[in-house]
A = this chain, B = another copy of it.
């Protein structure tokens, strides 16, 4: 990956074979980013997304193979246990033009991923909700 800062916004290029969640987390750790809005487009090659099941408190995982367009990728960087916490959702179009969508579990870059990371000043942490099984924004 390569990145550069323009005002409060980082433009991040994630390269072929790099995993998107890990790349963004590494950049946030390097740059001390703890609060940001994230949006991106690009292309992926393999990954897994999920749709949450509230009753079972787990994600139904959908493994995706092959080369796909990242039609949209959006979410946030917040903080949990002193570390940057990445939460992204995506829509992906596969070689058969079928669109998949959901919570990003892992996603490897297929050609390039072009990401904007708009940093904000301040802190938002995550607190686990026992009722929901997910980590909620805590102000």
Contacts and interface: CB of A to CB of B under 8 A. Distances in A.
- Complex A-B, nearest 5 residue pairs according to Cβ-Cβ distance, in ascending order: A71-B101, A93-B101, A41-B89, A6-B120, A4-B139
A7 interface: yes
A52 B70 CA distance: 11
B71 A90 contact: yes
Give the secondary structure class of A's interface. Answer: strand
State the number of copies, please. 3
A112 B126 CA distance: 12
Contact of A37 (B116, B134, B137): B116
Contacts of A124: 4, 11
Given A7-B121, A9-B37, A91 B94 contact: no
Interface centre among A71, A94, A137, by most chain B C-beta atoms within 10 angstroms, is: A71
Interface in A74-125: 74-76, 87-95, 97, 99-103, 110-112, 114, 116, 120-122, 124
A81 B122 CA distance: 35
30 contacts: A6-B35, A6-B121, A7-B121, A11-B120, A11-B124, A11-B139, A37-B116, A40-B74, A41-B75, A41-B76, A41-B89, A43-B54, A51-B93, A51-B94, A51-B97, A52-B69, A52-B110, A52-B111, A53-B67, A69-B101, A69-B102, A71-B102, A72-B74, A74-B74, A76-B114, A91-B91, A92-B101, A99-B100, A111-B134, A112-B134
